[in-house]
Amino acid sequence: MIIVMRKSASDDQIKAIINEINEKGLKPMPLYGTERTVIAVIGDERILDQQHIKSLPGVSQAMMVLPPYKMVSRETKYEDTIVKVKNDIEVGGNKIQMMAGPCAVENYKFTKEAAKACRAAGARILRGGAFKPRTGPYSFQGLGEEGLKILRQVGDEEDMAIVTEILDIRDIDLVAEYSDILQIGARNMQNFNLLEEVGKIKKPILLKRGLSAKIKEWLLAAEYILSNGNPNVILCERGIRTFERETRSTLALSSVPLIKELSHLPIIVDPSHSTGKPSLIPPMTKAAIACGADGIIVEVHPKPDEALCDGQQALIPEQFAKLIEELKPVAKAVGRTM
Ligand code: PEP
Ligand code: MN
């Protein structure tokens, strides 16, 4: 931290700051200028409360030098994190991972049809919500445990890992028992109690970006999970809410290369919820892979018209298979395999 004192700061006020820094076990380095004094703080400044320091008498500014997160930072761990999901399936390595399936698990038949087609096209991870975070209480809320059972059964039959959303701390054991990756949805990105609790298990966590979360807030949410003991976090850019109404969200793709600079964690992109339009899914998927995403999570449904949730944005299996074919040269161009 760099603390800039006011021109009018008294010697006692400067001494008080120096004492406070010493008491925290950090090393103050005062630089007495002709105009004003600046105090550089040596050590891990994250233990200092920036707002508190700013409020002390005589202080003009207090600037953090380090980012507020630590364990997720590329400065702390330089190598890319590869999250092992199941058997030979991992996220963050050279291979692009495709997670695909219906928005919600509705019944065995649709889940099976979607999974079979996605697996045949090359996807290794099946998605499907059993607990759905719906905007209104009267919309389909998901099948709960029955949905988890269907998802697990279909995943095993098709040799796919499964990813599904966890909404509530009380369901962690249940969801962890059936799934390979637990998804924290956009609406829960800052549910700090939930983040702490999924930090205490070892299963991989797919952490979606909040609807209006800054990149720093998103990384701090991931920090909650890592700092509680779970290093297996996969980030997911799913678009943010802006003034634009033509797309469901605004896909902020620049977060992908930026996250790669700031963090060692793998990052995937959700072209379904970010665009809300099947026609935009193929181009945005290609763009995501081109800019460095480690994978995609996309909604695929055999009968979008009959879907109980998000049918309007689902790809049909044929469109998904075509997308995978079109994606191969893009992946190759950026040195990735599929
Ligand atoms: C989902 O993946 O089904 C979902 C609800 O996504 P998000 O949390 O990104 O809205
Ligand atoms: Mn959905």
Q: Atom of ligand 1 at shortest distance to CA of 127?
A: 2
Looking at residue 292, its pLDDT comes to 98
User: Tell me: the pLDDT tens digits for 135-188?
Assistant: 999 999 999 999 999 999 999 999 999 999 999 999 999 999 999 999 999 999
Determine the residue of 238, 296, 298 to mutate for testing ligand 1's pocket, defined as the one with the most ligand atoms within 8 A of the Cβ atom. Answer: 238
Determine the residue of 131, 163, 165 to mutate for testing ligand 1's pocket, defined as the one with the most ligand atoms within 8 A of the Cβ atom. Answer: 165
2-63: CATH superfamily: Phospho-2-dehydro-3-deoxyheptonate aldolase; domain 1 (3.30.70.1140)
Looking at residue 201, its pLDDT comes to 98
Q: What is the pTM of this model?
A: 0.94
Q: What's the gap in Å between 300 CA and the centre of ligand 1?
A: 14
Q: What's the gap in Å between 134 CA and the centre of ligand 2?
A: 9
Looking at residue 220, its pLDDT comes to 98
**From-to residues of CATH 3.30.70.1140 in the chain:** 2-63
**From-to residues of CATH 3.20.20.70 in the chain:** 83-333
Looking at residue 261, its pLDDT comes to 98
Looking at residue 1, its pLDDT comes to 95
CB 270 within 8 A of CB 239: yes
Q: Computed from CA positions of residues 96, 177, 205, 226, in that sequence, does the dihedral angle turn out positive or negative?
A: negative
Q: What's the gap in Å between 13 CA and the centre of ligand 2?
A: 56
Looking at residue 43, its pLDDT comes to 92
Structure tokens at 325: 């074919």
Residue closest by Cα to atom 8 of ligand 1:
185
Ligand nearest to the CA of 164: 1
CB 118 within 8 A of CB 315: no
What is the domain class of 83-333 according to CATH? alpha beta
Residue ranges of the chain with per-residue pLDDT less than 50: none
